[in-house]
Structure 1
Amino acid sequence: MAGRGVRVAGGVARGVPLVEPRGVRLRPTSGLVREAIFNILGNAVEDARVLDLYAGTGALGIEALSRGAAHATFVEGEAACTEAILQSLARTGLGERATVLRGRIPAALARLEGPFDLIFMDPPYDDPAKEEVLAGLAPLLAPGGRVVFEHGSRYNPPVRPRGLQLLERRTYGDTAVALYSHLEGE
């Protein structure tokens, strides 16, 4: 079914509605927050290798592809979501530059081959493993790369998870976004 407002916000696929899976409760990143994330990232998206963890509808990774990313890998545990991502990639014409993996996080991280220039992480806000997952991303991150961690605005993300350092945090209503890079000297 076509998205009730989940559309690509910019780039070559701007305005294309994304497929939303049936029977799965998701909290897709709002258009406002997606636009803010990509404004912060600017030119870092062009030709980037992107990893979209807890992909859901795939909105973040598809947005990156639409804005010039070279390749995006989507990781999602729900079969209905992976099917929806594949349909959205076909609908946008961006499927040739994407890989969709079905797997539960954090276990699925072992199947990934980095490095990635951008890693999007949008776990369920109540996921008890989110800090463990964040602390395991440094080996997958390319030099100069960024991790974009979306979380609830009342949650205080770690400043220095293993191998990473918090660069900035911005709040948009109930949602906040933390940007990380490699810890200097590592």
Structure 2
Amino acid sequence: MTRRRPPSRKPRRPAAAQAKRPGRLRLIGGEYRRRQLPVLDHPGLRPTPDRVRETLFNWLTAVTPGARVLDLFAGTGALGLEALSRGARQAVFVEGDARVARQLADNLATLGAAERGCLITADALAFLADDPTPFSLVFLDPPFRQGLAGACCRALEAGWLTEEALIYVETESAHAPEVPASWQLHREVRAGDSTGRLYRRHPAGAGSPHGDAC
């Protein structure tokens, strides 16, 4: 009598090998919808979750097309890339880590978005100490527990914002950022240990005009 052989099974990968698989960033709307991009395995690099990005850009539907966007502490560039996908005129990505910035540059090239995406490898606060040009939409997602959000929010008021700019600030939930008095909280979303807050700027007086520059 012929005995049946038990079905062959592929050996399972060790858990450590599975953990080393490169991550992917999925764009969720607009021109680059469903495009997937590699994410560098790097300490502290945490793309804004899909659910949060979807909620945020539902809030920003009317203002993203044609916007000039600043993505500070860009990391994977998830927010700035999503804005470009949804019709932003230009996005300036500021990232201090050279390896992370190179991956972001590669992803911009993969999407064919390098002409509208300007990448600056620099510390965010050092960038904000330079001569300002105004942005209508700003994403600020600093590393947690380093007290950077408040300092950046104050620095943005030195000419980096249009009169009624929108500013999205993502921080650890336990520490709400200190923001300028001219910013009013518009919407809020929470995911895990982080909270994203969308502010609308309402200055007392109009700011001075600036030309576009990367």
Secondary structure class of the residue paired with 2:93: strand
Equivalent pairs, count: 185
Deviation at 1:180, TM superposition (A): 1.6
Inter-CA distance 13–3: structure 2 relative to 1 (3 Å threshold): farther
Matches for 1:124-163 after TM superposition, within 5 Å: 124-138=143-157, 139-158=159-178, 160-161=179-180, 163=182
- 1:50 aligned to 2:69? yes
> Hey, what's the Cα distance between the residues in 2 that align with 1:26 and 1:181?
27
Displaced runs of 4 or more, over 6 A: none
Provide structure 1 residue ranges, at least 5 long, that are not aligned to the other structure: none
Deviation at 1:82, TM superposition (A): 0.8
Deviation at 1:166, TM superposition (A): 2.7
Secondary structure class of the residue paired with 1:106: helix
Pick the structure with more strand per residue.
Answer: 1
Secondary structure class of the residue paired with 2:61: helix
Deviation at 1:31, TM superposition (A): 0.9
Supply the RMSD in Å over aligned alpha carbons. 2.0
- 1:65 aligned to 2:84? yes
> Hey, what's the Cα distance between the residues in 1 that align with 2:22 and 2:66?
27
> Hey, what's the Cα distance between the residues in 2 that align with 1:60 and 1:84?
15
Q: Is the 8 A contact 2:70 2:93 kept in 1?
A: yes
2:56 matched residue in structure 1: 37
Q: TM (normalized to structure 1)?
A: 0.90
Q: Which residue identity does 1:17 align to in structure 2?
A: Q
- 1:77 aligned to 2:96? yes
**Highest CA radius of gyration, 1 or 2?**
2
